[in-house]
Structures are given as structure tokens and as C-alpha cells.
A and B are shown apart, each in its own frame.
Chain A
Amino acid sequence: MAAAAAVPSFGELGVREELVDACTKLGWKAPTPIQVEALPLALQGRDLIGLAQTGSGKTAAFALPILQALFQQCHPFFACVLSPTRELAIQISEQFEALGSQIGVRSVAIVGGVSMVDQAVALGKNPHIVVATPGRLLDHLTNTKGFSLRNVKYLVLDEADKILHNDFEKEVDEILKVVPRERKTFLFSATMTNKVAKLQRACLRNPTKVEVSSKYTTALTLKQEYVFVPAKHKDCYFVFLLNEMAGSTAMVFTRTCDSTRRLALILRSLGFGAIPISGQMSQSKRSGALLKFKAGDRNLLICTDVASRGLDIPSVDVVINYDIPTNSKDYIHRVGRTARAGRSGRAISIVTQYDVDLYKRIEDLIGMTLPEFPAKADEVLLLEERVSEAQRLAAMHIREKDASKKSKKRRNGDDDEADDGGYMAGKRKQSKKR
């Protein structure tokens, strides 16, 4: 991106005028390296495997060729995009509509957690693009009469390594069976599996591999650090970090759904604007939480790896790994939520004595040793009293909620803290206690 003079414009890459206009409207002046590499090949109609850093414009790299092909031959169910998470699918679908707004491209997001009927209705309206998570797409393929993918011309697997991962194996196999063989296939990700067998399942024909960075790299504008803490005082250090970062917008990654809930409660009672998002929440709450975070109502998003891939939230300037990811590649995706599209960002990993092994693997993968975040133990431990009080309150709250949930399971008793009564509510509760 530094060598802006040498970068050809979208038009020179062979993109149609209408789409160039759309890009300009979205504020994209020049194509990113992955787009420069991928667009000409894709426009020629080649199968692609695209590999580029997080936040480097991969979505547009496959969306533009598809939209361009749609100009020549417009019919419903033209392309199908698979994404591993619901939020990402919704984001991609929005991007397609934004890029294709001038030509009236209709795109639907088919994701789990929302009404099948509404989605069936959306499918019935003959959309051009279907962006889906594999499970729900398969559900519709089997249960929605009249819906088929037999006219699909383009198949895209975004976050391909995740999609081809064992978790989705069954679904993806079924979907690949019903998509016609005569199609173009794009695989995109920031990390890619090397296992040939897995790639073969995607039935690429004579694919070209487009790699902008050969090694697994993170964005150049990202400042990465770690902080080594005793496991006993992990929460305390975490709060300390947030205090240091006060005023910034951060995403905090944890390993489990339960800890997102617990951390959000602790932070709220300490007066932070935190909101959790995890696979345990209903889709409407997930979307609501994400929306609040995006809009800036809350500045801390506590999430599991469900939000680690693809989400494009420009305002995020800090990523904190509360738990070190077990899969080192996930690290790259997590920290990729910040420092997107040339902006700067910061990533801090909390490493305890038990995580050293995992952490070393990450350093190996990205090929760097990271500097340590300066944290003086005595300063940190000043916070301990308040943190442990908050922990106690959170634990109590969770216990109560779970108990009441069990008793009135019939009523939809999930009016829990995930819904967030605002962090002020938590504060008030605390002061009443004293």
C-alpha cells in the first residue's frame, strides 16, 4: 500500500465502471494488494485460492468478480458464499448489496438462529446471492421445497480453512453435492490449511493460488504485546489492562461462552461498558450486542472465537486475548479484528504460567517475539479488593439466574444479563449492597 503510485486502479484491473463507482462511494480509492492479484484472475474465470492478511479486502476480491459476472448473465441464485459464523455471513451479504446497489443486486443471509419461514420467504424472492452458514443452508436445502442451488455459477468459501475444517465436514459435503460441477470456486482466508485432501473436497479445478504474504503474518500496523501474569490474579491484571486502555474500543476474546458472561458481569459492576457475545445467546441478542458495540453504545465486546473471523468493525483499536487460543491460527484472526485496512491497532495477550506452551507456538507461527507489556505487580494488586468483590457479585448473579432459569424454563426465561441492563445498573446494585 506504500507504493501507491504503482498500484493500478480498479478500472485498470478490468472492473466495470458501475462497480468502480460503487467502490468509490464506499471510500475505496485503490485496490489492496490481494485485490490487485486476485481480480484479474477471477475476472478471467479462474478458480482461486486467496490468502492475505486480515483486514486486507478479501471480501471485495471475490465480490467484485461475481457482481461483474452478474452483469453479463443475470439470474437468481447466481452465487453462493459460505461463511463459518452468522455475523460474518450477515456482514458479507450487506457488502454485496452495498456494492451492487446500483444494479439492484439482492442478497440474502441464511444463518441459524432466526425464523426459517422468513428466510424461506427471502429465498422465494429470487435473490442473486446467497450468503450462508453451512448448517442452516443445508436445513433449507432439505426442508424448503423449491429451493435449490442447481443454478449456482460461483461458490465462495470464505474463511476456507474453517469451513473445510472437520466441524462443518458433513454439511459442506452435502452442499457440494448439490452445487453443479460447472462452476467457479473461490477459497479465501487469512490462514490456509495445507492438507491437500481437504482442498480436494472443495473440488477446485486447476486453481491458482494468490498469496500476498507467504508466511502467516499479521498486519504491519498492528502493535502486539503480551503480559505474563500469575493465573491467580488473571482477572486483576485484565482489569488493570483495561484501565490502562481506558477510552479505547476493545474486543476481548475468551475460550468459553460462560466466561464471556462472567467477565461482562464483572466489568459492568466495575463500571465498564461491556457486552458479551457468544454462541449460547440467541441470534437476536447476538445481533443486538454486535449492533450496540458497532454503534459505540458499549466499548468492550467480550466474545468467544465466534467473533474472531471476518468481522469488520473499524472502530476497534485494541484486541485483548484473555485466554490464549488453543489453535494458534485463531490468534491471527483474533488480532485481525483491529488494525484493519491500514489503520493502527494494538493486541495484548494475557499469558499465565499454564499458557506458555500455547503462546510459544503462536510466536513460532507469526515468526516474531513480542515485547512484554509493562505492568507493575504492586500497582496491579491495588485493584484486587474491588475485583474480587465484583467476582463475588458476578458469581452470585449467575447462580441466581441459572436457578431461576431452571425453575421457569417453560417461560422464555432468558432475560438474563446478556441482555445488558447497562453497566450503571450493575453499579447501582453494588452500592446498594454496601
Chain B
Amino acid sequence: MALKRKRNGTVTAAAAAAAAAGDPSPSTSEELDAATAYSTLIATLKSRGGGQTCGFQTKERDHSSDDVPNADTERNGGLSDKEDTEPDQSDDEFQDDDGDEILEEQVDDENLETSTVDEFKVHLDHKLGEGEIAELDSAKSKLNVENIASGFLNSKWIIDKEKFPKAESKLSHYNVKARLRSQWANVAKRKFGDFQSEHQCQFYSLCNSYYDILHTRKGGKKLSSETMDACLLHIINHVLKTKDLVSKNNDKLHNREPTGVFNSPRDQGFTRPKVLVLLPMRNLALKLVKRLLALAPPTQKATVDFKQRFFDDFGLGEEDKDDKQASKPADFKFIFDGNNDDHFRIGIKFTRKAVKLYSDFLSSDIILASPLGLTTSIQEAKADTSKNIDFLSSIEILVIDFADVILMQNWSHVVSLFDHINKMPSKQHDTDIMRIREWYLDGHARYFRQTIFLSSYPDAAINALFFRQCVNHTGKAKLQCRYDGVLSNIMLQVRQVYEGVQCESITDVDDARFEFFTKQLFPRIKESLQGGTMLFVRSYFDFVRLRNFLKAESASFCLLGEYTKSSDVSRSRTWFFHGQRRIMLYTERAHFYHRYQIRGIRELIFYSLPDHANFYSEMVNMLGGGQNPSCTVIYSKFDKLQLERIVGTQRAQKLLASKETMMFF
């Protein structure tokens, strides 16, 4: 069951996305262009229709017939009587919340507010002008202020505002709730001031200043947990601040004279959920919630409701454990270890003394979901008028963690989410209309949403969303890295030939590449008697195109794609190994989800470069057997992002600048 649901998603336009990124000179405005190019490409793909990309199908999971119970919907149903009473309580909770607590907290806060600026207030109380909106809508932000990013070699954070937020190493400078700060001190390792590292400190200072963040270098356990901790600290702080503000104002309203004209404080959104975290799989959600519970202030979590049920749902039962993973690489285990179901959504609510998991969405503070899980509720709302997705109307922080893994699932779910977030609700949800912040009423919620993308590599599809759909008035921050490449990880002496494909526009690149392959490479492959040719393809579109081509040429080949059945996979691998089939087609997604160790490769052709740089070295290291193994790579100038990660920034620049169309390493 553990590995059951790996290849959930579909191949959408990931191919196009990946191809879009290349551009000769490294600067952010270029990346914007890449984003533009990306969307035009999508448009052309769409207009082209099925055509040669006949595998352009969406494979949705069949929810109704799924044997794994859909935890959220089903369990919520079971709990209905309990949940139904909750909306009534929620308001009371706001009322009597923090009655005593707030007093001590207030004293503490006031001391703080005199010392530093409260970014929470600055961000949310901002008055948005007409001109500012027009500027944000034009999506022409220029990221040009730089700051060295510590933790990575030759990397920098760049933002579109004049002044960089100061990265203080002490948490007391950040206006964090005192009860949260002390818990952080207890739980988190402190190496750099109050932080685990300078990288975390920098990242947190950006979070805390409510920047939109594009962090594209968080692969690995250490960086991943550092960014997650920083994010969680920010999220909890935001939730607690919102809550405290509301209950403080409740007290004020309660105690005021009932007569006279009075303006209610504006401190709420249409609905309660303020934070949305997108994660690809249950095991990662489990990690996040565990950490969230660890970091939450002790007074806040005297009890945790439905904790056991959560661990049951998101963890793995004994019988589900499988030891297949033992031979897989560490980064694979890090992502896939545990319950890798990709369909879930859960609400988390902070009450006065408890954390409630599985709370009703409308009364939750944080919503944790997979893109697929969220898409399901969006579609349910479309089909059934009694359901709605109003819980997305008032999201103030959106975190998309493991965006690289989501890219391997189905990115279009994320894209469609951006059409539904921060919209006007369809119903009133018992919120005091006079206390809703004015920018919500004006429909400006999206200018106040902070969006944080966390990924282990940059990608044109992420860039496109980040630069087009994120219009936070505070600004944007982006991590720009230089890479050393992965060539040093290659153990074998292999001559790697890089063949450049010339083309002018991103819409032509697929055709140019295909033509290059069929005209230049394929005749040679066909003639050579030696088998063992592995064709590695990044996108499913190209996979289908090549498959059809090979079929038409009646070549001897076998397939290893993301939709191939496991029995077919093992047969193909055997055939290939024994030389019964001369060519093997292999996709990046298939490798991502399975990390097959393929034997019998004599010639490796990268029809397109992988997004995951480590896949390149892994594949090359699989070469072996036979004399003079060879490796050929087809690239174009639109593959800049991938090239950079594989051969290193410097060499990639050289490669793209040179007139030669063939290079050796």
C-alpha cells in the first residue's frame, strides 16, 4: 500500500515548463521572460490540441472506488454531530479566549512594540492605493536588491524593495509572541543566535516581513527542516497574533458603553482560515504536524484533539511497512518514507488551550492539504451548491512546500488553486461584517496574501506562478543560486557529448529537438548493431512522441514510463538487459517515483535533460558493461536552468554562449 499511489498525477505541461527556463544571461528579468514564454507555450500547446501529443490525458484518481478510505470526507462525516455544534462555539471561543492569558501577554507585547516594528500590523494595516494596485497587477516587479545568501556558495537573495529586512539573530527582535518564543528556545537547536543557522535566520526574517518568497534550494534533510521550522514559527505567530487581536477587540467591544456611534475594529477576514499549506504527500504532512505541535506554545496545546486518529491516518500501519526502499538513494527515502498517499486535507484549529486536528474547515486556523485534496473540494463545490470553498477566501499565508515533488505530481492543481484563492465568499459565515478588514471587502485580499514557494530546484512553472499570481504588496524575495554541477559525481570515465539544437522561440523547441533526433541521431542508432540504447526523456509529451515515432519506424524498443504497469516494467528491464530490445524509453517521472537501477545500458541519450540534477549522474553511473560507453545530451538555449544544475553555472554559460553546437566533457 505504501507505494501504491505514487504516480497520482498527470503529466501536464511540465515538459513545456522545464523547457522554458533557458536563457543566455542570468538575471531576473530574463526569468520573467521565461515565464512569459512559458505561458505562450502553454497556449500553443493547447491550440495544437491532441495532435501528436496523443498521451495528453488526465488521469484522475477514482475516488469513489478507492479502497483506501478517504480519511477527510469520511471521518468528517462520522463526526458530524460533533462538528456541527462547533461553529457556534467558535465565536464564544474568541470571546472567552485568553481571558487571563492575554493580560500577561499584553504587558509583554507592549514592551516589544516599543522596541521594534510589528510586521504583522504593518503588513495587514497597509492602505493600498489605486496606483499601487495597478502596479502590482502589471506584474512587472524587478528584483534587483541583493543580499548574500548564507548557507550556499555564491548565492544571493534578491528582492524588489529598496531595503533588505534585517536578519537579526535574536528572536526577540522579531515581535514574536512571548509564549511562542520561549517554546522555540526549548525545542529548536540554537546555533546561530536563536536560530539553527544563518540561512534559517535570513529566511525567517523574510517570512516575518511578509515577503513572497521563492526558495529553490532546500533539498536535503537539514535545509528542509530548517525552512520548515522557520515557516512554522511564522505561521503559528501569525495565527496567534490574529487570534489575540480578535479576542482583545472582543474585550474592548464587550466593555464599551453601549451608546453612541462607534466604529468596530477591523480585524477579521470573511472566514477564519488564515493559513494554507500545500504538501504533496501524507508522510510530509505528518512530519509538519509533528513539528507544529512541538513548536506550539505549551499553554496552547494542553490537549491535542484527534491526535491518535491523525497518526493513524497519516502514518503507516505495521503491515504496510515494506523494505523495498532499502536500496534506494537517501533523497528518495527522505521523500517517500512512510505513507505516500497524495490525497488529503485537514483543518487545524488553535483554541484557548487545545489544538484541534480535523476541525471543520471554516472554523480552522490552518488548512493542510495536498493539491489533489484541495482540487477535490473545489470540484465538489462546483458540482454541489450546498458545498463551498469559502474557506479559501481569507488565506493570508500560502505555503507550497516540496513544490518540486508537486511538480512531479500534477502542477495544474496548484495553478487552478490560484483561480480560487482569495475570492469573495459565496455565503455569509456568521462573521461580523463590520469587523472585516476593508481590503477584504474591496476584494483586494490577494494583494495581502503572502505566498511562500519551497522547492529544491527552480522551475519555469513555479516562476510563472510566482511572478504572475503572487501580487503581495510587501514585495517578493527570491533565492538565486550558482551551481557547481554534478559532473564530479560521475564515477565512470564517460565521454559526454552535448549537442546543441538551434531554435529561436520556445514554441519551436520541441519540434527542433524532435527533428534533430530523427535526422541526426536515430539513423545512427538504427544502423548500429549494438543494443543497449537508453533514451531518457524529461516530459511525457516527448515520451509519447518518441514512442509513436519508434513504432512507426518499427524499431526494437521497450517502454518505461510513469504509467507503465509494474509487470511490464520488469519484463522490459529483462528484455533490455538481455538485448532482446535494443532501445529503452525512460521518463524522468518514472525514475523519480521508482529509481530503477537499469542494467545493460551501453549508450545513453538524454533526449532532454532531467530537472533533478542528481538523476543525470545516477543515469550516467548506470552505464557499464561493454566497451566505450557513450552519453549524448541534446540541449537548447531554453534548457538553461537544467544545464546549470548539471554542468554548473559557469560551464552552462560557456556552453550556451559558444558558437559550437557540440561540446565534450
Q: Does B117 contact A (CB under 8 A)?
A: no
Q: How far is the CB of B576 from chain A (nearest CB, A)?
A: 54
Complex: how many Å from CA A36 to CA B166? 67
Q: Does A116 contact B (CB under 8 A)?
A: yes
Q: Mark B412-434, 1 if CB is under 8 A from A, else 0.
A: 00000000000011111011111
- A124 and B430 contact, Cβ closer than 8 Å, known pairs A117-B424, A117-B425, A151-B261: no
Complex: how many Å from CA A151 to CA B262? 9
- Tell me which residues across on chain A come within 8 A of B119, comparing CB atoms: none
Contact: B428 with A116, CB < 8 Å? yes
**Which residues in window 424-457 of B have CB below 8 A to A?**
424-428, 430-436, 438, 441-442
- Tell me which residues across on chain A come within 8 A of B261, comparing CB atoms: 75-76, 151
Q: Mark A96-128, 1 if CB is under 8 A from B, else 0.
A: 000000000000000000001110110111100
Complex: how many Å from CA A279 to CA B430? 30
Q: Does A168 contact B (CB under 8 A)?
A: no
- A145 and B432 contact, Cβ closer than 8 Å, known pairs A121-B441, A125-B438, A151-B261: yes
- Tell me which residues across on chain A come within 8 A of B435, comparing CB atoms: 146
- A146 and B433 contact, Cβ closer than 8 Å, known pairs A75-B261, A121-B441, A125-B438: yes
Complex: how many Å from CA A143 to CA B428? 8
Q: Does B264 contact A (CB under 8 A)?
A: yes
Q: Specify which of A75, A124, A151 is in contact with B433 (CB 8 Å cutoff).
A: A124
Complex: how many Å from CA A126 to CA B441? 11
Q: Mark B593-631, 1 if CB is under 8 A from A, else 0.
A: 000000000000000000000000000000000000000
Q: Specify which of B426, B427, B434 is in contact with A124 (CB 8 Å cutoff).
A: B434
Complex: how many Å from CA A126 to CA B428? 17
- A117 and B264 contact, Cβ closer than 8 Å, known pairs A144-B433, A145-B431, A147-B433: no
Q: Specify which of A118, A143, A145 lies most central, judged by the most chain B CB atoms within 10 Å of its CB.
A: A145
Complex: how many Å from CA A145 to CA B441? 15
Contact: B426 with A117, CB < 8 Å? yes
Contact: A117 with B434, CB < 8 Å? no
- Tell me which residues across on chain B come within 8 A of A124, comparing CB atoms: 433-434, 436, 441
Number of interface residues of B (CB under 8 A): 18
- Tell me which residues across on chain B come within 8 A of A125, comparing CB atoms: 438, 441-442
Q: How far is the CB of B367 from chain A (nearest CB, A)?
A: 21
- Tell me which residues across on chain A come within 8 A of B432, comparing CB atoms: 145-146
Q: How far is the CB of A148 from chain B (nearest CB, A)?
A: 9
**Which residues in window 74-100 of B have CB below 8 A to A?**
none
Contact: A145 with B424, CB < 8 Å? no
Contact: B427 with A146, CB < 8 Å? no
Contact: B428 with A145, CB < 8 Å? yes
Contact: B264 with A146, CB < 8 Å? yes
Number of interface residues of A (CB under 8 A): 17
Overall SS of chain B's interface? loop
- Tell me which residues across on chain A come within 8 A of B424, comparing CB atoms: 117-118, 121
Contact: A145 with B430, CB < 8 Å? yes
Complex: how many Å from CA A283 to CA B323? 64
Q: How far is the CB of B438 from chain A (nearest CB, A)?
A: 7
- Tell me which residues across on chain B come within 8 A of A116, comparing CB atoms: 427-428
Contact: A120 with B434, CB < 8 Å? no
Q: Specify which of B263, B264, B425, B441 lies most central, judged by the most chain A CB atoms within 10 Å of its CB.
A: B441
Contact: A120 with B428, CB < 8 Å? yes
Q: How far is the CB of A137 from chain B (nearest CB, A)?
A: 14
- Tell me which residues across on chain A come within 8 A of B426, comparing CB atoms: 117
**Which residues in window 478-519 of B have CB below 8 A to A?**
none
- Tell me which residues across on chain A come within 8 A of B438, comparing CB atoms: 125
Complex: how many Å from CA A151 to CA B264? 13
Q: Mark B567-590, 1 if CB is under 8 A from A, else 0.
A: 000000000000000000000000
Q: Specify which of B263, B428, B430, B433 lies most central, judged by the most chain A CB atoms within 10 Å of its CB.
A: B433
**Which residues in window 120-155 of A have CB below 8 A to B?**
120-121, 123-126, 143-147, 151
Complex: how many Å from CA A145 to CA B264? 12
Contact: A146 with B434, CB < 8 Å? yes
Closest to A151 in B: B261
Closest to B262 in A: A151
- A147 and B441 contact, Cβ closer than 8 Å, known pairs A117-B428, A120-B428: no
Complex: how many Å from CA A116 to CA B433? 12
- Tell me which residues across on chain B come within 8 A of A126, comparing CB atoms: 263, 434
Q: How far is the CB of B446 from chain A (nearest CB, A)?
A: 16
Complex: how many Å from CA A75 to CA B263? 9
- Tell me which residues across on chain B come within 8 A of A144, comparing CB atoms: 428, 433
Q: How far is the CB of B397 from chain A (nearest CB, A)?
A: 23
**Which residues in window 32-86 of A have CB below 8 A to B?**
75-76
Contact: B428 with A123, CB < 8 Å? no
Q: How far is the CB of A270 from chain B (nearest CB, A)?
A: 41
Contact: A147 with B434, CB < 8 Å? yes
Closest to B427 in A: A117
Q: How far is the CB of A217 from chain B (nearest CB, A)?
A: 42
Complex: how many Å from CA A419 to CA B396? 41
Q: How far is the CB of A182 from chain B (nearest CB, A)?
A: 11
Complex: how many Å from CA A116 to CA B428? 8
Closest to B390 in A: A117
Q: How far is the CB of B362 from chain A (nearest CB, A)?
A: 14
Q: How far is the CB of A212 from chain B (nearest CB, A)?
A: 35
Complex: how many Å from CA A123 to CA B434? 8
- Tell me which residues across on chain B come within 8 A of A123, comparing CB atoms: 433
Q: How far is the CB of A321 from chain B (nearest CB, A)?
A: 42
**Which residues in window 235-290 of B have CB below 8 A to A?**
261, 263-264
Q: How far is the CB of B381 from chain A (nearest CB, A)?
A: 15
**Which residues in window 170-195 of A have CB below 8 A to B?**
none
Closest to B429 in A: A145
**Which residues in window 33-76 of B have CB below 8 A to A?**
none
Complex: how many Å from CA A79 to CA B398? 41
Complex: how many Å from CA A146 to CA B441? 14
Complex: how many Å from CA A116 to CA B427? 8
Complex: how many Å from CA A328 to CA B359? 60
- Tell me which residues across on chain B come within 8 A of A146, comparing CB atoms: 264, 431-435
Complex: how many Å from CA A338 to CA B93? 59
Q: How far is the CB of B423 from chain A (nearest CB, A)?
A: 11
- Tell me which residues across on chain B come within 8 A of A143, comparing CB atoms: 428
Q: Name A's B-contacting residues (CB within 8 A).
A: 75-76, 116-118, 120-121, 123-126, 143-147, 151
Q: Name B's A-contacting residues (CB within 8 A).
A: 261, 263-264, 424-428, 430-436, 438, 441-442
Which 9 pairs of residues, A with B, have the shortest CB-CB distance?
A: A146-B432, A146-B434, A124-B433, A146-B433, A75-B261, A124-B441, A145-B432, A121-B441, A120-B433
18 residue pairs A–B, Cβ–Cβ below 8 Å? A75-B261, A116-B427, A117-B426, A117-B427, A118-B424, A120-B428, A120-B433, A121-B441, A123-B433, A124-B434, A124-B436, A125-B442, A145-B428, A145-B430, A145-B431, A146-B432, A147-B433, A151-B261
Given A117-B424, A146-B431, 4 additional A-B pairs, CB 8 A: A120-B433, A121-B433, A121-B441, A147-B434
